[in-house]
Amino acid sequence: MSTVEIVLTEEGPYRWRIEPQAAMRVPGVVFATRELLPQAAGDKALEQVANVATLPGIVRASFAMPDVHWGYGFPIGGVAATDIEQGGVVSPGGVGFDISCGVRLLAAGVARDELDHERIRRLMDLLDRSVPRGLGRGGLWRLSGPEEMDELLLGGARYAVEHGHGVPRDLERCEDRGVLEGAAPGEVSTRAVERGLQQVGSLGSANHFLEVQAVDTVHDPETAAAFGLRQGQVCVMIHCGSRGLGHQICTDHVRAMDRELHRYRIEVPDRQLACTPVDSPRGRAYLGAMIAAANYGRANRQLLSEAARRAFATALGVGLELVYDVSHNLAKLETHEVDGVTRHLCVHRKGATRALPPGDPSLPADLVRAGQPVLVPGTMGTASYVMVGLPGNDAFCSAAHGAGRVWSRHQALRMVRGERLHSELEARGIAVRPASYRALAEETPDAYKDVDAVAAVTEGAGLAKQVARLVPLGVCKG
């Protein structure tokens, strides 16, 4: 463990700096107000920001988004880029166990004021029955076996759409058009495949959810219109990732890199930061497996979208159009200018969302003028945000990915009873369908930072701009 003493210097109203010391190769930069900084006694998020700054090849800074909180190895809400040509490393812990965990937002052809409580209740009951989640309930799509899994790992959401699970326009509104090139199914272990075979089209548990929301406030009408959002519109937000397959891939490759650190004379202050040069056999193997898991994650959200569409069609007779699908646990090979030089970087975003500004040529044609939608889920009792990337974001075009936890699950269980939380949310008109009351209590809105403050700081720090605020109408919790 690191013994670095964390001293924060305020660089601006929303920006704090940890000067390089000991083994740190770059400074730490934290985007926050004083109130949003990790506060809890024993919280090691800032120490983890400093630890990440020791990684070989890291450039510019070890960044922390406004929702940063204590993870393992990397903080959750951490961004780090390494220079591939300067021995820069890739760290599976910098991606996270849940590779390509992300958020998908769909807009419904119905407005909030067209729905009464009874119609929402019917919709939520349908979703409750049709969205696999929790323990031992399988997935919506039973693959025929490992051979078909290989096809899915190569094809991602595109493979799902080609097999009738969605429409071609869905792919236009997915990051990377629903499939990242370069997947290497051969680098995915048998155990990972076995874990993933029965989970395609399932939410999982913990903080994963499928939520029915309504646009409560439009901050930027022009951009909202480009995204396909308007005041009062009903939406569906889905938060989940690559399930057991992604977790097993991360586990396998962290273990392998942990054993091989000496080969590259790498020392890390936390074993979960195990890493290897991007340009090495192990680095390439991990990235190929990680991309395979990213494609699995996108296919998974595609299947859940289809379940939501069936429920909306049955209960309300309306369709769902994809607004965007973006990962917030991923490493990407990107080109950025650092100190006046164009560099090829491996950008780790662990609990951070890519946030491309208007004009970025990699955006879908109908979003180039507006910029990339940045999806920031809050909590089931407060709100979520749609934001848009801004130019001049020196955190390698990254932004917050959610509200960020402040309470441990343990503390949440001590403070909140699931049955009571359920009643309180229902009394406020939020139809809650939990997998279990205890799991619901662990996800109490009080366990998270104030998402309104996180969104405001994200904008104030120049990371992304607020477009719309969405409030929950109903939630299927994993």
Structure tokens at 171: 């792919």
Instruction: For 17, list phi and psi in degrees, rounded to 5.
Output: -130, 140
Active site residues: 401
* Distance separating alpha carbons of residues 448 and 425, to the nearest angstrom: 16
**DSSP-based three-state secondary structure for 315:** helix
List C-alpha distances in Å: 1 to 77, 86, 273: 20, 26, 11
Whichever of 105 and 292 has its CB closer to other proteins, that residue is 292
Shortest distance, CB of residue 45 to other proteins, whole angstroms? 8
Q: Which of 407, 459, 472, 473 binds other proteins (CB under 8 A)?
A: 407
List C-alpha distances in Å: 367 to 172, 299, 359, 425: 10, 22, 9, 35
Contacting other proteins within 207-246 (CB under 8 A):
243-244
* Residue 298 burial (C-beta neighbours within 10 Å; 0-12, 13-18, 19+): buried
By the 8 A CB rule, do 443 and 416 touch? Answer: no
Number of Cβ within a 10 Å radius of residue 308: 25
Q: Which of 435, 464, 467, 470 binds other proteins (CB under 8 A)?
A: 435
Q: In this structure, are strands 464-477 and 431-433 parallel, antiparallel, or unpaired?
A: parallel
Whichever of 243 and 465 has its CB closer to other proteins, that residue is 243
For position 40 contacting other proteins by CB under 8 A, the verdict is yes
Structure tokens at 457: 């700081």
Q: Which stretch binds other proteins (CB under 8 A): 42-50, 323-331, 425-433, 452-460?
A: 42-50
- Number of residues located near other proteins, criterion CB under 8 A: 52
Contacts of 60 (CB under 8 A, 6+ apart): 26, 81, 338, 394, 396
Q: Which of 64, 105, 120, 439 binds other proteins (CB under 8 A)?
A: 439
Q: Which of 2, 62, 130, 205 binds other proteins (CB under 8 A)?
A: 205
Q: Which of 34, 259, 263, 369 binds other proteins (CB under 8 A)?
A: 259
For position 420 contacting other proteins by CB under 8 A, the verdict is no
Structure tokens at 294: 């990213």
Shortest distance, CB of residue 332 to other proteins, whole angstroms? 22
Contacting other proteins within 109-168 (CB under 8 A):
134-137
Q: Which of 442, 450, 465, 468 binds other proteins (CB under 8 A)?
A: 442
For position 422 contacting other proteins by CB under 8 A, the verdict is no
Contact residues toward other proteins (CB under 8 A) are 1, 40, 42-43, 45, 69-73, 76, 97-98, 134-137, 191, 194-195, 197-199, 204-206, 243-244, 247-248, 250-251, 254, 258-259, 270-272, 274, 405-411, 413, 435-436, 438-439, 442
